[in-house]
Amino acid sequence: MSPNAMKAFAAFLSWAIMFTLIAIVIGGIVLIFEAAVTVQIGFVSTGFAEWFLGMFSLSIGLGLLAIGMIVTMSFLLATTIAILIKNGQQFILNLITKIEE
């Protein structure tokens, strides 16, 4: 493989990993919302605002915990994206060249 093709492949893999992580995090958040709605409130198909109102009506602590979870996951996602954009492509390129050797 030529160096340009390897760099393009490394960039593609880096972006694919990043989008996969984003999908996993979003899926996890949706799963937590659905579980919380089902267990705590008893409705499966409520909207986002109703979910927060229901959480705060049950307990202020549960609502604050949910907000903290969303903020923490947002920062984790932003950090993961920044690391993969900065170092991910070079790491994957080094990994590909070591595999070929």
- The predicted pLDDT at position 68 comes to 74
Cα distance between the two ends of the chain: 12
| Domain extent at residue 86 | 3-100
Domain count, the chain: 1
- The predicted pLDDT at position 56 comes to 67
**Reported confidence tier of residue 46, pLDDT bands at 50, 70, 90:** low
Distance set, CA 55 to CA 41, 48, 61, 86 (Å): 8, 11, 9, 38
Say how far apart CA 89 and CA 3 lie, in whole Å.
13
8 token code pair: 């393009």
Percent of the chain with pLDDT over 70: 58
Residue bearing tokens 């390897």: 6
pLDDT at 62 over 70: no
Q: What are phi and psi of 42, to 5 degrees?
A: 95, 0
Q: What pLDDT, in 10s, does the model give residues 7-45?
A: 777 777 777 777 777 777 777 777 777 666 666 655 555
Prediction pTM value: 0.44
Query: Does residue 83 contact residue 76 with C-beta atoms inside 8 Å?
Result: no
Name which of 93, 91, 89, 87 is nearest 14 in CA terms: 89
